[in-house]
Amino acid sequence: MAQIIVVTSGKGGVGKTTSSAAIATGLALKGHKTVVVDFDIGLRNLDLIMGCERRVVYDFVNVINGEANLNQALIKDKRCDKLFVLPASQTRDKDALTKEGVGKVLQDLAKDFEYIICDSPAGIETGAMMSLYFADIAIVTTNPEVSSVRDSDRILGMLQSKSKRAEEGLEPVKEYLLLTRYSPARVTTGEMLSVADVEEILAIPLIGVIPESQAVLKASNSGVPVIIDQESDAGQAYSDAVARLTGEELPLRFVTEEKKGFLKRIFGS
Amino acid sequence: MSLLDYFKTKKKPSTAATAKERLQIIVAHQRGERDAPDYFPAMKQEILEVIRKYVQVENDQVSVQLDQKDDHLSVLELNVTLPEKP
């Protein structure tokens, strides 16, 4: 049975696409056949983060409308042969995604893939609602910041009332918190909500903490999912999150401040 | 951080604590409305208008809340703070 995982947040710019790309790549590197689907119709960007923007021919909406079949639209990743991307279309048609259409495509993908990662757009419009409707698992991407936490809570409400699992009275969508852009140093000085604070407010299990990292921009500049950069803290933190998603138990890393040396403390940094 | 900063006592109130407090309030409020039926906001407004016919109260002096006690029982709670007599 394929697992459908939505990467969602409500708020924009918190790292949904970065996380979708990293998690999908991580699962594929572990040997699971994985597809990552861009639900941000009209504002396609996952292709850029995955580095396959020049290979987009057909897209998600073409497949829904029967203008192309899945095999024509799926882009095989250059780095990992277990990984595929289904790009969003650049149409401005707001009704391009229908429940029936999306359901049919996901059903077809489920025959072939172990994991289907749905990269949600920001907001609570059609694209966002469609991306979470069919989910088995939700990864709620949150920054340690008031507006992001509040919007995450709103999205949790949607998952509990507007998803297929909720509507049909099935076992609820499994919700996980992914805290991104975390700065342990700022938490120490009392300028930033801590992991524990956000966990307490949202009250869902934590799947990972991704530190604020220069590696993320570098990765997106070059179209390589940040998880490939295993030298970087963010890359390693995403690997941990993927491992937890597949049932491993790992301690949290990168959540405490690096200790400054004696000389650095005196002479400044 | 330089040598001087090292000796300064830095006891500023933590903004993270303020953030947490504000979030706990707004999130509790959000969750209260999450399970409410679609007619709830309109009903709340009408109740408020009825009260206003008789007593002059502000929006924040009236709280209307729907509590799900268990599967078969939900309680509509109406709290009105009446103004003091002049």
| Beta-bridge partners for B65 | B77
Is A150's CB within 8 Å of B16's CB?
no
* Chain B contacts in chain A segment 63-92 (CB below 8 A): none
A67-98 as b/e: b if 16+ CB within 10 A: ebebeebbbebeebebbbbbbbbebeeeebbe
Q: Is the entire prediction scored with pTM above 0.90?
A: no
Helix (H) or strand (E) holding B34: helix B15-34
Q: Which residue of A has its CA nearest to B22?
A: A146
State the Cα–Cα distance between residues A50 and A53, nearest whole angstrom.
8
Q: For A73-102, what is the mean pLDDT?
A: 94
Asked if A37 contacts A132 with a C-beta cutoff of 8 angstroms, the reply is no
Determine the residue type at A35: V
Residues of B in contact with A265 (CB under 8 A): 1, 6
* Chain B contacts in chain A segment 195-224 (CB below 8 A): 197, 200-202
Is B23's CB within 8 Å of A154's CB?
no
Average pLDDT over chain A, rounded to whole? 95
Is A194's CB within 8 Å of B24's CB?
no
Q: Tens digits of per-residue pLDDT, B4-49? A: 666 655 556 799 999 999 999 999 888 877 777 778 888 888 888 8
Its ipTM equals 0.86
